[in-house]
Amino acid sequence: MELIQIVGVIFALFALSRVVLQLKRRSISFNEGLFWIFIWSLVVIFLIFPEFFGYVAEFLGVGRGVDALMYISIVVLFYLIYRLYAKIDALERQITHIVREIAIRDRYEPKKRD
């Protein structure tokens, strides 16, 4: 096993432990936790068995395993960007709604003076 593989496995296991900790603290949802556990587990498997990329590349019809990894990574990153965009959009709508409610309430309710 190469040094880069050892460092990668240590990092992936650390990230996996952080995901489990966040699940226990309930700072991420169960589905998000499963997603990240799946991702980091795949990273560990691919680092320990790099020849597995060859099988994935062959299945996808790509020349090399590294190319398959890059294509899959790009697709996953686009998915994550989309999810972040959707969350930000929902938060903006919620903030707009709250600000409008506060503005209407403050307009029609007299302010209390000290």
Give the tens place of pLDDT for each residue, 4-40. 999 999 999 999 999 999 999 999 999 999 999 999 9
Per-residue model confidence as pLDDT tens digits over 52-100: 888 888 998 998 888 888 999 999 999 999 999 999 999 999 999 999 9
Cβ atoms 57, 65 nearer than 8 A = yes
Q: How far apart are CA 66 and CA 56, in angstroms?
A: 10
Q: How far apart are CA 86 and CA 84, in angstroms?
A: 5
Residue 1: which pLDDT band, with cuts at 50, 70 and 90? Answer: confident
Q: Identify the pLDDT of residue 102.
A: 92
Cβ atoms 9, 48 nearer than 8 A = yes
Over the Cα atoms of the chain, what is R_g?
A: 23
Q: Identify the pLDDT of residue 14.
A: 97
